[in-house]
Structure 1
Amino acid sequence: MPAKLPVIFITHGSPMLAVEPGQTGPLLTELGQQLKQHDIHAIMVISAHWLSRGQARITASEHLTTIHDFGGFPDQLYQLQYPAHGAPEIAKQIQQTLQHSGLNVALDEMRGLDHGAWIPLQYLFPDADIAVTALSMPWPMDAKAAITFGQSLKDLRNQGILIIASGSMTHNLYDIGYDNNIEASYISPFINWVRHTITHHDLTAMANYRKLAPYAQQAHPTDEHFLPLLIALACSDNDEPITELDAGITYQALSMNNYIFGQY
């Protein structure tokens, strides 16, 4: 049986990360090199950009298309491809495992990888030599439901499946700017609260982050980009090591913090 794999939370930030690696790209590349020392049967990505009404869905095709689900960016972004090969048999295995946990999960043979999935993967595993499947977040989902969802995924870590949850530590697009000397005032108080809460593996506080975290509404006007972090945290045990990869602030309002839960 493969060793228990870590679970990763990645802030994918702006689609421009694909061509502007900044601090994030090298950190993810180094992380990917360390992760490849493990026996990884497949990668399962949960992206903030795939929400499915009423039930979870999981990609089940042999070849996953690269979805350019954004507009108004330079042409070079739309030329990028991540040649991931799918994992239909492992998708069925994941479906069965999650159904045993009481989740409603359907196979999806049409869906590819959105930018929340393929952009981090191009840095983590640039050779695209590990099979990939993507799992949607069933919608509607609040913080409490995200934690329950994450807890149901725990057993996959013992099956050689590397779980990557891709979202954003902060995600207020109204505050995006281009002066690297400016940082939105709410970012530090918010991410410091998150860091403290993660360190104490406080799922109860996380479930109530809208009420408890300072400036939660400014940091996340909507929930979907924060929920992958809650899923990743809930998928870990409270005695596992936690590693933070801090890649700074981009575009004034995007905190590029990443977390690894478990040994790697």
Structure 2
Amino acid sequence: MISPLFIAHGSPMMAIDDNECALFLQEYGRTLKPKAIVLFSAHWETEVTAISSSDEVYETIYDFGGFPKELFEVVYPARGSSEVASVVAERFEAAGIDYVKNTNRGLDHGSWVVLSRLFPDADIPVVQLSVNPYAPAEQQYRIGEALRGLCEQDILVIGSGATVHNLRILNWGSTAVEPWAVAFDDWIVDRMQKRQLDDLFHYEERAPEARRAVPRAEHFVPILIAFGSGDPDHEPEVIHRSYEFGSLSYLCMKF
């Protein structure tokens, strides 16, 4: 059995730079042997949840600009799995969650940056899913909940995003961590470990510095999805925590 994860993908440079989180993922991936991966990416937004459904090798999407040429030369040639996509679709149907299948989209950097560190051989089938940042927090949790138990089939569910992700106020030269960013992450971890769902579903009003930490929800909602997909009898565990540029969070959790 393999537990769902939330992985912070931070800067795309994590694919080629050995920051703390990249080195952690590199080692942690060696302990995991999933049959397939189901990954929700903050960088694929749709109104209705989209499921990649293909058995072909994915195109590597470079959905960013202004980075070194070396980053645009990274290729992550993972294959999809229409079979696993159908398993996900069946779970959504049973839970009354709307979805569409997508047969042609490649892997965006919310997926391949994380996966290139966890599973550099690109030899595990991947099903990428989109997020809708405008859906309520409770709905994000329910999407994950529909996939609860996939771990028993050795299918690894990953939410890829970031808890504190406000690019407008990053301090690019700083090595110190902003206390407000730590306070927000502390609150999220505490409420998850105590399973205080009502607080989490209203994090925008109740969490300290929520508006500064989450100016837009696309990077945050993957943690709610991953949390929902986990075993409620298993206490959520922080497996890595670091920060860059003052407040960019690399909090990673296992559910």
Question: Can you list the C-alpha shifts for 1:154-200, whole angstroms capped at 9, x where unaligned?
Answer: 13233331101001020011112222333334112111111211211
Whole-angstrom distance in 2 between the partners of 1:210 and 1:114: 27
TM-score between both structures, scaled by the size of structure 1: 0.91
Aligned to 1:57: 50
Task: For residue 250 of structure 2, give the secondary structure of its aligned residue in structure 1.
Answer: strand
- Alignment gaps of 5+ in structure 1: none
Aligned to 2:17: 20
**CA apart distance, 1:246:** 2.8
Whole-angstrom distance in 1 between the partners of 2:76 and 2:35: 19
Asked if 2 retains the 8 angstrom alpha-carbon contact of 1:175 and 1:184, the reply is no
Q: Is residue 147 from structure 1 mapped to residue 144 from structure 2 by the alignment?
A: no
TM-score between both structures, scaled by the size of structure 2: 0.94
Alignment of 1:1-264 (within 5 A): 3=1, 5-36=2-33, 40-53=34-47, 55-61=48-54, 62-138=56-132, 140-261=134-255
Task: For residue 174 of structure 1, give the secondary structure of its aligned residue in structure 2.
Answer: helix
Task: For residue 135 of structure 2, give the secondary structure of its aligned residue in structure 1.
Answer: coil
Task: For residue 44 of structure 1, give the secondary structure of its aligned residue in structure 2.
Answer: strand
The residue identity in structure 2 corresponding to 1:60 is: S
Percent sequence identity is 35
Whole-angstrom distance in 2 between the partners of 1:111 and 1:7: 24
Count of residue pairs brought into register by the alignment = 254
**What stretches of structure 1 move > 3 A for 4+ residues in a row?**
none
Whole-angstrom distance in 1 between the partners of 2:129 and 2:246: 30
Whole-angstrom distance in 1 between the partners of 2:236 and 2:125: 26
Question: Can you list the C-alpha shifts for 1:66-121, whole angstroms capped at 9, x where unaligned?
Answer: 11111111111111111111112221222122212212222211111110111010
- Alignment gaps of 5+ in structure 2: none
Asked if 2 retains the 8 angstrom alpha-carbon contact of 1:7 and 1:235, the reply is yes
